[in-house]
Structure 1
Amino acid sequence: MISKIGDQFTKLFIKFMPDAFVFALLLTLVTVLGAYFFMDSQPIDIIKAWYGGFFDLLEFGMQIVLIIITGYSIALSPIIGKGVDYLARYIKTPAQVYFFVVMTGMLLSMISFGWIVITCFLARALALRVNGIHYPYLVACVYFSMNSWVLGLSSSIPLLLNTENNYLISKGILENLIPTTYTLGSVMNLAMMALMVIGAPLLMLLLKPKKSTLELKSVNNQQNNSIKTEAEALKLPFKAISDKLNNSRIIQWVVVLMGLIYIGYHFSTRGLDLNFNIMIFIFLMLGMAFHQTPMRYVISMKHASSNVSGILFQYPFYAGIMGIMLYTGLGEATAKVLASVATMDTYPFFAYVTGGFVNFAIPSAGGEFAVIGPSIIEAVKEIGTGLSQSEIDAMVAKASMSVAYGESLSNMIQPFYLLLVLPIMGAGINLQARDVMGYLVLPVVVFFILQVAIISFLPI
């Protein structure tokens, strides 16, 4: 019965949901209308705001591209293939694959949401080895497993609150840092971790479709030939210095050694600082080490780069939407409206809803919090008038984490971050966002109810 409901939602999404790029264009027009009617902004000012934000995500977009292709390159290496072959001996049924992929993805995403690429190639590799996998549903499982990133080490909002001289303190919105014991280490967040790591795999197992509409094994895999074989085929029929350089292990390993030295230095001097740049650098070095020669690595990166066009041209449009929300004041006004009706009992709920709603226009937790965070914090401080500073800090932490939870869950019903998943999971397959999103509706509804209960009743 439950799986049939998921199938029905999927049919609706297939029928009515356009391509992810069209979704971005429609969302742009909706945001334009919102700024025009609710902020009294002139059309030219809205267009200027749109253009002003259009290129604000270029660095972020490039980082995402590099995360995907460097991670995928690692996945194409022989050592990873052997590891997955070993794993497939023990994971033999579709149900086991769904459960394992969601749990693994939840754990990996708590380290960094960029590690979703590891979950992607693990899921794809298992789908090639296990019969009966409902592939669109498996893609939905992978995407849902990204939900946990706001609970862990790279969660941008709690890290911001505990960063020296952050913009909230410099602007007088906060008087002091909010330590991570109030946010990531709180009872509320630990309960949310348990829900994600244990509850999510069980839920996705319960919702699994009975029939497989598309199996990955049924499509023509474009990477049948090994990268080693391709590299050998590129050699000249006679001995040449160029071939020796192209296939030199020594050159590659000297560079890898330099990289490993820096990675050790980075973590020894900065602690567990897992930012995008160091992650990309680690993926680069690991890929070079696993492929052993420059030519093999070049070929692996060529394969890995073949399907990232969606990110390259769609991210600027989402940045433009963010620009309208930011520069016309629409995002701040939205936060103020929702915060104005909050009370001591309901402020976590309204912060959660605000985070989820605004995320459709600003699908970046850090960027979104820069727009709505000040208004929410000011509202919380006003609600808590007369309380001690530690109590105010706890309320701010709870409201901020509620924004993060709402932002993360609403990602599941819009295709922005699905652009991280499809280049890997959809390689060589005619797979679109509409084939996947319907399977996420019921999980989002269930988790909305459970998360609201946690933020409303559990202490910080």
Structure 2
Amino acid sequence: MKKLFMKVVNGFKLAFEKTTSGSVKLVEKFLPDPFIFAIALTFVVVIISFFVTKTQPLGLVQAWYGGFWSLLAFAMQMALILVTGTILATAPLFKKGLGWLASIPKNRFTAIIMVSVVSLLASFINWGFGLVIGAIFAKEVAKRVKNIDYPLLVATAYAGFVIWHAGMSGSIPLALATAGAALGTATGGAVVDPIATSQTIFSMFNLVIVGVIVVTLPFLLAAMHPKGDKIKTVDPRLLEDEPEPAKKPRSEMTPAEKLENSYVVNYLLAAMGFAVIIKFFMDYGFNLNLNIVIFIFLFAAIALHGTPIAVVRAVNSAAKSTGGIILQFPFYAGIMGLMTTQGPTGVSLAGAISDFFVNVSNETTFPLFSFLSAGIVNVFVPSGGGQWAVQGPIMMPAGAALGVDAAKTAMSIAWGDAWTNMIQPFWALPVLGIAKLGAKNIMGYCLIVLLYTGLIIGLGLLLL
């Protein structure tokens, strides 16, 4: 019996290794640069929209252009979250603390487990915080743990993002908890009174799903580590920060240089910023939004870097990684414009996808199908707020008509929005910018994460 058991276990391990290796090879071979991916999605959506919405080609082009600039503010926020997170991590004191934490794991297994747990917990607290801290921590671990697969380590850092929309910064549950006319509009009139986060983020069914993923996903990722010559390490020198220029003695500085190197200027500015931060927490508690996260990163970095010129140099270095965000976000905004445009029949492509899943659902299967439809729409509309605007007015009334709890319907959409981020390069761009990798380097591993978490989330929504 023991031999049979070991044979089954070894067979499973071999099959898992082959599946992981095959996934990595498949993605590396066929997944293009994220910009090409965005272009391909644009053409796909144009063609499908032409047949589904009956919109004429010129109308589709106009819808694409109409959406093209709709994410400019958000793109700037994403560029800032990358830059401010990076300059905070490169501040001497913070870097020392992060380095100490990264020195704890002594082998590949514990390194991947630790990066995964840090990323998952940080993403549950705040999605922007999780994206940046996970990637920076992975870099620090890669400098210290020998013979570890760097693409897997970075994929591990990104994989924690899969739970963000079920966490404390989830845009859909937070929108549900906010009173006002916008709530009725966003839910198609199905919800008019706010739904507390105790019924969404902190509900038993949501916490069980989150808990299972947090406990099991790190071990799944550790089990994916390649062996032998398939391991892709990184030269630690490529991960080092740029050396700072030699500092002049203060007696040799010009008045302008003395200001640039003034600790007093930085500390006064930091004090002003932290006064705002403290007031925010007094007023709103731990309800972080993207702006305050960027603000915290920025002013913590200002305080820790010591002088204005040190901050300037750190920003100049970090800004080199923002190219993907600047180039690609407008194209995804254009795709969102295409997905939401309504043709002569009043049907949008996103609406048609949602309606299809509504029509094949019943009270039991509706949360599962809401999750799957949201996952599909998220590939084309990779924004939590955009997803809610597209699907909320369709799915929420449908769920109410079937007798499904509104909180569960909303969380099903939220989970679907987060789930397919594992194969959507849009959200990986900040992580890839920090790690200095391409999307195809990590997406093979993320595909396995997608399949595994999809099973856990789907079963949780169906059975709990």
Smaller-chain TM-score bracket: over 0.9
Say which SS state the counterpart of residue 391 (structure 2) adopts: helix
For structure 2, list consecutive stretches of 5 or more residues without a partner in the other structure.
1-13, 343-347
Q: Match of 2:365? A: 346
Change (3 A) 1:221 1:399: closer
The one-letter amino acid of 2:334's match is: G
* Structure 1 residue 3: Cα displacement: 2.7
Q: CA deviation at 1:221?
A: 4.4
Distance of 1:366 and 1:89 partners within structure 2: 38
1:423 to 433, 437, 443: 433
Query: 2:139 touches 2:239 (CA, 8 Å); kept in 1?
Result: no
Q: What is aligned with 2:28?
A: 14
Give deviations 1:275-302, integer Å, cap 9, x for gaps: 1111111111100111011111111111
User: Is contact 1:164–1:177 with CA below 8 Å preserved after alignment?
Assistant: yes
1:435 alignment counterpart: 441
More helix by share: 2
Q: Are the equivalent residues in 2 in contact too, given 1:3–1:210 (CA < 8 A)?
A: no
Measure, in 2, the Cα distance between the counterparts of 1:124 and 1:41: 47
SS at match of 2:196: coil
2:162 pairs with 140, 143, 147, which one?
Answer: 147
Letter in 1 for 2:442: V
Shift of 1:166: 4.5
Kept after mapping to 2: 8 A contact 1:231/1:296: no
Do structure 1's residue 382 and structure 2's residue 397 form an aligned pair? no
Aligned partners of 2:426 and 2:99: how far apart in 1?
32
Task: Give the 3 Å change call, closer, same or farther, for CA 47–240 of structure 1 in structure 2.
Answer: same
Q: Secondary structure at the match of 2:444?
A: helix
- Higher mean alpha-carbon deviation, 210-219 vs 37-46, is at 210-219
Is 2:389 aligned against 1:370?
A: yes
Structure 1 residue 231: Cα displacement: 5.7
Given residue 456 of structure 2, which amino acid in structure 1 is its aligned partner? L
User: Match for 1:161 among 144, 155, 176?
Assistant: 176
| 1:306-329 deviation line (CA, Å, top 9, x unaligned) | 111000010000000000111232
Amino acid across the alignment from 1:330: L
Once residues 285 and 408 of structure 2 are traced to their aligned partners in structure 1, the CA distance between those partners, rounded to angstroms, is 26
Q: Tell me: CA distance 1:340–1:189, structure 2 relative to 1, closer, same or farther (3 Å).
A: same
Q: In the alignment, what sits opposite 1:457?
A: 463
Cα 1:242/1:114, change in 2 over 3 Å: same
Counterpart of 2:85 (choices 71, 78, 86) is 71
Q: Which residue of 2 aligns with 1:207?
A: 224
Report percent identity of matched pairs. 36
Q: How many residues align?
A: 441
Structure 1 pair 218/177, CA: closer, same or farther in 2 (3 Å)? closer
Of 95-104 and 81-90, the range deviating more from structure 2: 81-90
The answer to whether the Cα contact below 8 Å between 1:363 and 1:411 also exists between their aligned partners in 2 is yes
Measure the CA separation in 1 of the matches of 2:237 and 2:149. Answer: 13
Partner of 2:95 in structure 1?
Answer: 81
What is the CA-CA distance between 1:255 and the residue it aligns to?
0.7
| 1:270, distance to aligned residue in structure 2 (A) | 2.3
Give the 3 Å change call, closer, same or farther, for CA 286–409 of structure 1 in structure 2. Answer: same
The whole-number CA distance in structure 2 between the counterparts of 1:368 and 1:240 is: 54
Matching residue's letter, 1:162: A
Alpha-carbon distance in 1 for matches of 2:204, 2:102: 36
Pair 1:194-2:204 in alignment: no
Q: Closer, same or farther in 2 for the Cα pair 1:224/1:39, shift >3 Å?
A: closer
CA deviations on 1:239-267 (whole Å, 9 max, x unpaired) are: 31111111000011001001111111111
Residue among 195, 198, 222 paired with 1:178 = 195
Q: Residue 416 of structure 2: SS of its match in structure 1?
A: helix
Q: Map 1:30-69; keep pairs closer than 5 Å.
A: 30-69=44-83
Shift in Å, 1:76:
0.8
Structure 1's 94 and 161: CA in aligned 2 closer, same or farther, altered over 3 A? same
Q: Is the 8 A contact 2:63 2:334 kept in 1?
A: yes
TM-score where L is the length of structure 2: 0.91
Indicate the residue corresponding to 2:7 in structure 1. Answer: none
